Amino acid sequence: MNTFKALQISKDGDQQLTESVQLSRDDLMPGDVLVTVEYSTINYKDGLAITGKGPVVRKWPMIPGIDFAGTVIESDHAEFSKGDAVVLNGWGVGEAHYGAYAEEARVKGDWLIKKPEGMTAKQCMAVGTAGYTAMLSVLALERYGITPEQGPVLVTGASGGVGSVAVSILAKLGYEVIASTGRKEHADFLRQLGASEVIDRAELSEKGRPMGKERWRAAVDSIGSYTLANVIAQTQYGGAVTSCGLAQGADLPLTVMPFILRGVSLLGIDSVMAAKEVREQAWARVQQDLDLEKLELLSETVGFDQIIEKATDIVDGKIKGRVIVDIAK
């Protein structure tokens, strides 16, 4: 029986073990589409799963990896045929269903979309869930009515996956972008992506006042906790803030003051269970509005054997931009 490599997380009591294993197709979970996984990526959630520093995994043992790009091997789904190039983001893959860090994956076809025309599988994973989430955030601000002439947009966690793609997209769309980062050495990198101003995350990461000076018209936040509270407190009248992450924490210590005195809106962003039409719209806009030269600038590619190392680095805040995983490498 043919086997293939996979990264598996298992538990022995309170101890978590992450190791490379050999699986067969009989080991895979149910689904109506079998895919050769060509590229994946390392998101913050993947880092939490592999290091055990967050309650991401819901079924044991698990193959982590929440997104992939690859080619259909077999399909019993009406929309997909052998040879189709596909992309998957979310849907509990890598959490409750075997994920991307394996040479093959069996999933539900309803979770897949066709690879966007004009993008390679590798470019799709340079975007990955983080970049797709960044685009969902931009789309939410657009639906709210935020336009470039209204004022600057703040991006927190700007050196990370969501943040770096958000900076690049917003800048290309003509927005004045303020990038917040805790890594001063990345200031030039963020300006290359299009940020007009770079501020220290320390300005936002501690307990602040219920209302602050109005500094930005809108914001894309992937940090949560005090950072998100301070971002909201310093958003201009009638502005909006998107929330898509919890790198600092899941708490939100703020008052209702910005909402009832300035009419600020908080827009929640879910990338995991978003409907197919929402995903397809976001990916179409990624292809249209993300500068692929900048995508190359903010990405690095690693092999399968480096996943654990890079997963640890992303949780420790040592990753700049996006990490692509070449599964066959």
* DSSP structure string for 47-75: HHHHHT-SS---SSSB---SEEEEEEEEE
Note whether 262 and 182 are same-domain residues.
Answer: yes
Note whether 146 and 98 are same-domain residues.
Answer: no
Mean pLDDT in residue range 285-305: 93
Q: What is the CATH number of the domain that holds 264?
A: 3.40.50.720
Note whether 228 and 318 are same-domain residues.
Answer: no
Note whether 71 and 156 are same-domain residues.
Answer: no
Note whether 135 and 250 are same-domain residues.
Answer: yes
E strand spans, 42-143: 67-75, 85-89, 104-107, 112-114
Tens-place pLDDT, residues 34-73:
999 999 999 999 999 999 998 999 999 999 999 999 999 9
Mean pLDDT in residue range 192-199: 97
Q: Identify whether 120 is part of a domain.
A: no
Note whether 255 and 144 are same-domain residues.
Answer: yes
pLDDT band at 219 (very low <50, low <70, confident <90, very high): very high
Q: Identify whether 176 is part of a domain.
A: yes
pLDDT greater than 90 at residue 242:
yes
Tens-place pLDDT, residues 109-148:
999 999 999 999 999 999 999 999 999 999 999 999 999 9
Note whether 228 and 260 are same-domain residues.
Answer: yes
pLDDT greater than 90 at residue 287:
yes
pLDDT greater than 60 at residue 1:
no
Query: CA 30 to CA 114: how far, in whole Å?
Result: 20
Q: Identify whether 40 is part of a domain.
A: yes
Helix (H) or strand (E) holding 17: strand 15-23
Helix (H) or strand (E) holding 164: helix 161-172
Note whether 81 and 183 are same-domain residues.
Answer: no
pLDDT greater than 90 at residue 323:
yes
Note whether 182 and 69 are same-domain residues.
Answer: no
pLDDT greater than 70 at residue 325:
yes
Q: How much of the chain, in percent, has pLDDT values that exceed 90?
A: 93
Q: How much of the chain, in percent, has pLDDT values that exceed 70?
A: 100
Lowest-pLDDT range, 22-26, 136-140, 293-297?
Answer: 293-297
Mean pLDDT in residue range 255-270: 98
Q: Identify whether 288 is part of a domain.
A: no
**Torsion of the alpha carbons at 90, 96, 97 and 103, rounded to the nearest 10:** 80
pLDDT score, position 294: 87
Tens-place pLDDT, residues 152-170:
999 999 999 999 999 999 9
pLDDT score, position 2: 86
Q: Identify whether 291 is part of a domain.
A: no
Note whether 100 and 174 are same-domain residues.
Answer: no
Domains contained in the chain, number = 2
Do 51 and 312 touch, CB atoms closer than 8 A?
A: yes
pLDDT greater than 70 at residue 299:
yes
Note whether 150 and 66 are same-domain residues.
Answer: no
173 CB-contact burial (10 Å; exposed 0-12 / middle 13-18 / buried 19+) = middle
The domain boundary, picked from 226, 251, 268, lies at 268
Residue span of the structural domain in which 66 resides = 4-115+298-326
Q: Identify whether 249 is part of a domain.
A: yes
pTM value?
0.92
Q: Identify whether 84 is part of a domain.
A: yes
Note whether 134 and 96 are same-domain residues.
Answer: no
